[in-house]
Structure 1
Amino acid sequence: MKMMTESNTPQWERLHKALAIEARAGYSDIVGKQYRFSEFLCLTFGTVPPEATPQQKQRWRDLAVEFANYEKKAKLERQQLVVKASRLLKDVQEGKPDPTPETKPLQTKTPIPQGNPNLNLDQSLEDIPDIGRTRSRSLSRLGLKTVRDVLFYYPREHIDYARQVNISDLEAGETVTVVGSVRSCNCFTSPKNPKLSIFQLVIKDRTGEVKLSRFFAGTRFTNRGWQEKQKKLYPRGAIVAASGLVKKNKYGITLDNPEIEILDSQGAEIESLNIGRVLPVYPLTEGVSADVVRKAVLKVLPAADTLKDPLPSTLRKQYGFLPLPEAIKNLHFPPDHETLSHARRRLIFDEFFFLQLGFLSRRQQQRETQKSALLDPTGKLIDQFKQVLPFSLTNAQQRVVSDILQDLNSETPMNRLVQGDVGSGKTVVAVFAILAAIQSGYQAALMAPTEVLAEQHYRKLVGWFNLLHLPVELLTGSTKTAKRREIHQQLETGELPLLVGTHALIQDTVNFQQLGLVVIDEQHRFGVQQRARLLDKGHSPHVLSMTATPIPRTLALTLHGDLDVSQIDELPPGRQEIQTTALSGRERRQAYDLIRREIAQGRQAYVVLPLVEESDKLDVRSAVEEQKKLQETVFPEFKVGLLHGRMTSQEKDEALTAFRDNETQVIVSTTVIEVGVDVPNATVMLIENAERFGLSQLHQLRGRVGRGEYKSYCILMSGSKTDTAKQRLGVLEQSRDGFFISEMDMQFRGPGEVLGKRQSGLPDFALASLVEDQEVLVLAREAAEKLVLVDRNLEDYPLLKAELERRYLKLMGSTILA
């Protein structure tokens, strides 16, 4: 690690990267090129950025001291310190102001009634006074039918009206409460809309005054009698409290659609549910108002005291968590923001903890009930393969191979995911597992999501297997009928030890004699049932999953918590550096000139676009139109090819073969070339409308170049001028670490977008966020691991076991258990 050199502008990306790498390394104080992690952070935080606020500068200096003592800290303390540093970086980057000093806290009457012996958790809402049949029908539209349902119906957010400020200190964008005396009040029908009534109230305190407005649509509000009644409610000199979001319009500062309550006197208690407190905001549906939900919650909240806490008291004390009843009550109606924070942390931990406990219990059950073939990790084929390999494995590859072979030398089914960056050498690692199966008398299958990727694997494997005198075949939707029959027959007789293919492998007609190993590439692109159908073709075969799309650790824990995960976090030597540059449309000529220079030296180029055909909704060039334009007007002296997902398999093969053989110098493509295309002679990747792609996908596309001996380039063409787009593309310009890029991608877009909406597989958390609550997820995983280690069947924790069955099934549904 190098220390920051510019004293006045922090190199944010390098700092974020250092923090992400340290988290991935298990907070081990990793050693960089020049400094240990703790030394680098200590030196970095020793230089205060000028744009930081006074409070942020003090926090910055405090972190320098804390990182100086990093080596002495326990692992949990290190985790918390890394999270604290990440948050401060984000605050300074986003220019968040220091919180305004608060005035004396508001006196709000506690809304939670104390005790109600007549309530029980399974009681129907219809039977509760003040809710009754009508309101319970409304609440049932939200899935709320019992007292327990309401208690666990968490607010989606909170509005903090608990902070009272002087009128002169109102700042746009804040949610606050002001208290003042009425200077004037008016209520009248809008001169522009006869069905709209406008209520205006001017209040003042010792520092200034503010005009508040509320709007009422409907003819009943334009009634003169109703309007006069409103004015009488707020006589001149009356003391009122008003809460709302501060907005600035052409008339000055105001509160947007404020909640208003008349007080008995200055400093009197506020009785309203909505004013002067941290207000819960619940998910609603048409016909169910916020007040109906809030009042129902208040009515049943005393029943929270009857909840039995499933978390062992030792675990609660270890992590400093609130008891469950207290956390539930303070999540719904907290007295202040700090109490809310403690309540949220406890309940977020519960969501993560029971998910991780479910994963680990499920894996333990599989290990106890399923038996797989014992595969020989030290046989003749593996020795021969090591001898014919023209290169040495990296340390990371050797580590992962060791993990895999150790798994295979057990009757417990292997279920391992190998994450590796673009070009890290995952396929060669998989070959060791395949050869272990073959030399033990079993067959292996490798399934890839696309024909392009399956073919790429097949080509590579044929080259290696020919040297070992082993047959390997390819089965896809394009395989001819006669060849397909031949493959089926050889599989059933056991003559064919390895079959590579696409979804064609899971067809009913494909039967293995003795399938011992399944390798699934880009496994996240297959559904649960598709993967299961392939596994059913053997008797509890070992499973090795691979992905060239690194995902953040928190996503891996959430999606693959029941898998063992290995990471190939080291690129083989000789991989060329890829120079990445973001350009605007006005700089397009530079990109075309670069392509011409490279082709003049015998190289080739990719041009990638997001769509196949023109779209009225998206201002994006289509691959078809772009290929025609480039061929006819930009590069008429070169041959420009075309590749996209709607072409037939034969057309794709012809296009790729022509590009591999350098018959076409430029290929215009959609993201079909994201993985699986290996043309070492290609040195330029030009990505149009780069702002429309995720960072991880851009990184995958970039990985199509830099695969040979020549210097390579990636050009990110962007039509967006937003700061966010520039920041996102800046990450690609400055980093080649796929794991770091995936972390940043999740920060920018969220986990659902990173994984893809079609098949994200994410559980439906009520409170937890994989972006904001990563630290709590790590704690939950550690706590679950410790508990399973001590009592794997949870026999000593019956409450915990019962809650696990309820929560895990509800949280994951068919995503994991199908």
Structure 2
Amino acid sequence: MASLKLDALPLTYLKGVGPAIAKKFKQLGISSVEDLLFHLPLRYEDRTKITPIHQARMGQLVQLEGEIGSSSIQFGRRRSLQCVLVDKTGIIHLRFFHFSAAQKNSLAEGTRIRCYGEPRRGRSGLEIYHPEYRVLQPGQEEPVADTFTAIYPTTEGLQQGRLRNVVNQALQLLDKADDLQDFVPAQLIEQFQLAGLTESIKLIHRPPLDAPLEWMNSDTNPGAQRLAFEELLAHRLCMRQFKSLYAQNNAPAFKQGAELTQSFRNNLPFQLTAGQDQAFAEIEADLGRETPMLRLLQGDVGSGKTVVSALSALKCLASGYQVALMAPTEILAEQHYDNFRAWFEPLGIAVEWLSGKTKVAQRKQVLTSL
């Protein structure tokens, strides 16, 4: 078992995961036991104690335990299953708008259950809509959770209880197997005082009981910080590699266009701001190189992105190339078309517009002229 490779171990190795359940996990991008370990909780809930019903408060998540005093189907604007949960201190209503016959039968009068949810004010007092629950066996005392309960991203037909069960099995295998392969160099782990990868995974799935719930639900716990660091590092390395490979491509250098851009500036009814001048200068320098430009022009609405784009287009046009400007909506495309016609046609540059509503004959004419 010490040499067990979790990345090569299929989910069907785990108890309760057959082909049908494995297919649902596949929808979440989970195929192996290692994939499951990296399926991280969305948040945590405190189910380490049972709250007496009379202490339940509106808007506060609670775990309750009691007996079904009555169970009936209510008919109103929406059909619902309504159960009255009773303990020694009071009663509370449980309401289900989506339920099966098996669920109705499992919540019969006299059944003991443990449920978790958020009470809200209803017509008959406090109610919990669609609480997560489980039926308790008669005469059997079940312990409460000994750590915070993880809530995972899921898909239809894959309940939280099943998810937690298979994650616990995966953690048991992790306890017996080799540590997960850690791609972060030891030097960086030491430099930034990061937790180890295996330690972080265990912390995230099995939070210590003495950890504050708010701390675990924040990004400040060491497990979350460790995985966030790895994700950011991987993203940064991928970007560096992409830029390095991208820079190996060739592109035409657009060095002409000084007179054309100056004529454009002279025709504008306004002066460019210092920020607009700087943005164009940086783009102009990129366009003058023999490697492709990789740049994002970002600015608030009305900051002058369009006029800077027009200047950049003129650099390409002056070298004998054509320029395409794409817009996400037809309204915006039409606005750009009007602006560029007003700017470029006095310079002898033709501007055409293609959109989804362009008529066939006009589209053919535009495409022919390209």
Q: TM-score, normalized by length of structure 1?
A: 0.35
Following superposition, the deviation at residue 316 of structure 1 comes to 3.5
In structure 1, give the amino acid aligned to 2:317: I
Say yes or no: does 1:138 pair with 2:21.
yes
Structure 1 contact 161–175 (Cα < 8 Å) conserved? no
The 1-side partners of 2:264 and 2:231 are apart by 46
The 1-side partners of 2:182 and 2:240 are apart by 21
Counterpart position of 2:116: 244
Following superposition, the deviation at residue 277 of structure 1 comes to 3.0
Q: 1:187 to 1:388 in 2, by over 3 A?
A: closer
Counterpart position of 2:350: 472
Instruction: Choose from 310, 321, 326 the match for 2:194.
Output: 321
Counterpart position of 2:292: 413
- Comparing both chains, which one has the higher relative contact order based on Cα–Cα distances under 8 Å and sequence gaps of 6 or more? 2
Say yes or no: does 1:371 pair with 2:250.
yes
Instruction: Choose from 259, 273, 293 the match for 1:394.
Output: 273
Partner SS, residue 416 of structure 1: coil
The 1-side partners of 2:103 and 2:362 are apart by 74
Structure 1 contact 196–219 (Cα < 8 Å) conserved? no
The 2-side partners of 1:248 and 1:480 are apart by 59
The 2-side partners of 1:443 and 1:419 are apart by 23
- Give a deviation string over 1:693-722, Cα, whole Å, max 9, x none: xxxxxxxxxxxxxxxxxxxxxxxxxxxxxx
Q: 1:479 to 1:423 in 2, by over 3 A?
A: farther
In structure 1, give the amino acid aligned to 2:5: N
Following superposition, the deviation at residue 157 of structure 1 comes to 3.0
Structure 1 contact 212–258 (Cα < 8 Å) conserved? no
Number of aligned residues: 336
Q: 1:189 to 1:474 in 2, by over 3 A?
A: closer
- Give a deviation string over 1:545-564, Cα, whole Å, max 9, x none: xxxxxxxxxxxxxxxxxxxx
Structure 1 contact 331–344 (Cα < 8 Å) conserved? yes
- Listed as ranges, the matches of 1:790-809 within 5 Å are none
Instruction: Choose from 362, 378, 384 the match for 2:263.
Output: 384
Counterpart position of 1:585: none
Following superposition, the deviation at residue 393 of structure 1 comes to 0.8
The 2-side partners of 1:191 and 1:379 are apart by 82
In structure 2, give the amino acid aligned to 1:244: Y
Partner SS, residue 324 of structure 2: strand
In structure 2, give the amino acid aligned to 1:117: A
Structure 2 contact 46–148 (Cα < 8 Å) conserved? yes
Counterpart position of 1:436: 315
Partner SS, residue 158 of structure 1: strand
- Give a deviation string over 1:440-474, Cα, whole Å, max 9, x none: 34333334455654554444444444554x33232
Say yes or no: does 1:159 pair with 2:28.
no
Say yes or no: does 1:334 pair with 2:207.
yes
Counterpart position of 1:291: 161
Partner SS, residue 298 of structure 2: strand
Q: 1:140 to 1:384 in 2, by over 3 A?
A: closer
Structure 2 contact 253–289 (Cα < 8 Å) conserved? yes
- Give a deviation string over 1:97-130, Cα, whole Å, max 9, x none: xxxxxxxxxxxxxxxxxxx6374311234345xx
The 1-side partners of 2:253 and 2:157 are apart by 61
- Listed as ranges, the matches of 1:543-692 within 5 Å are none
Structure 1 contact 331–343 (Cα < 8 Å) conserved? yes
Instruction: Choose from 150, 171, 195 the match for 1:280.
Output: 150
Structure 1 contact 261–275 (Cα < 8 Å) conserved? no
5+ residue gaps, structure 2: 75-80, 96-101
The 1-side partners of 2:234 and 2:103 are apart by 47
Q: 1:186 to 1:441 in 2, by over 3 A?
A: closer
Following superposition, the deviation at residue 139 of structure 1 comes to 3.8
The 2-side partners of 1:435 and 1:196 are apart by 70
Following superposition, the deviation at residue 394 of structure 1 comes to 0.7
Instruction: Choose from 228, 232, 241 the match for 1:361.
Output: 241
Q: TM-score, normalized by length of structure 2?
A: 0.70
- Listed as ranges, the matches of 1:196-211 within 5 Å are 200-202=86-88, 209-211=89-91
The 2-side partners of 1:326 and 1:146 are apart by 19
Counterpart position of 2:78: none
Structure 2 contact 257–318 (Cα < 8 Å) conserved? no
- Listed as ranges, the matches of 1:306-317 within 5 Å are 306-317=179-190
- Give a deviation string over 1:28-64, Cα, whole Å, max 9, x none: xxxxxxxxxxxxxxxxxxxxxxxxxxxxxxxxxxxxx
The 1-side partners of 2:224 and 2:284 are apart by 43
Following superposition, the deviation at residue 296 of structure 1 comes to 1.5
Say yes or no: does 1:117 pair with 2:2.
yes
Structure 1 contact 210–254 (Cα < 8 Å) conserved? no
Following superposition, the deviation at residue 284 of structure 1 comes to 4.0
Counterpart position of 2:33: 147
- Give a deviation string over 1:622-680, Cα, whole Å, max 9, x none: xxxxxxxxxxxxxxxxxxxxxxxxxxxxxxxxxxxxxxxxxxxxxxxxxxxxxxxxxxx
Q: 1:417 to 1:118 in 2, by over 3 A?
A: closer
The 2-side partners of 1:486 and 1:278 are apart by 64
Q: 1:342 to 1:310 in 2, by over 3 A?
A: same
Structure 1 contact 175–246 (Cα < 8 Å) conserved? yes
Structure 1 contact 377–436 (Cα < 8 Å) conserved? yes
Counterpart position of 2:306: 427
Q: 1:254 to 1:457 in 2, by over 3 A?
A: closer
Structure 2 contact 70–84 (Cα < 8 Å) conserved? yes
Q: 1:218 to 1:432 in 2, by over 3 A?
A: closer
The 2-side partners of 1:433 and 1:271 are apart by 70
5+ residue gaps, structure 1: 1-115, 203-208, 234-241, 263-269, 490-509, 511-818
In structure 1, give the amino acid aligned to 2:33: V
Counterpart position of 1:515: none
The 2-side partners of 1:253 and 1:459 are apart by 59
The 2-side partners of 1:381 and 1:408 are apart by 15
Say yes or no: does 1:301 pair with 2:171.
yes
In structure 2, give the amino acid aligned to 1:155: P
- Give a deviation string over 1:515-561, Cα, whole Å, max 9, x none: xxxxxxxxxxxxxxxxxxxxxxxxxxxxxxxxxxxxxxxxxxxxxxx
- Give a deviation string over 1:148-191, Cα, whole Å, max 9, x none: 1321222333212347879886543223568xxx9xx7666648
- Listed as ranges, the matches of 1:778-789 within 5 Å are none
CA RMSD of aligned residues (A): 4.4
Counterpart position of 1:173: 59
Say yes or no: does 1:488 pair with 2:358.
no
In structure 1, give the amino acid aligned to 2:245: Q
Q: 1:464 to 1:150 in 2, by over 3 A?
A: closer
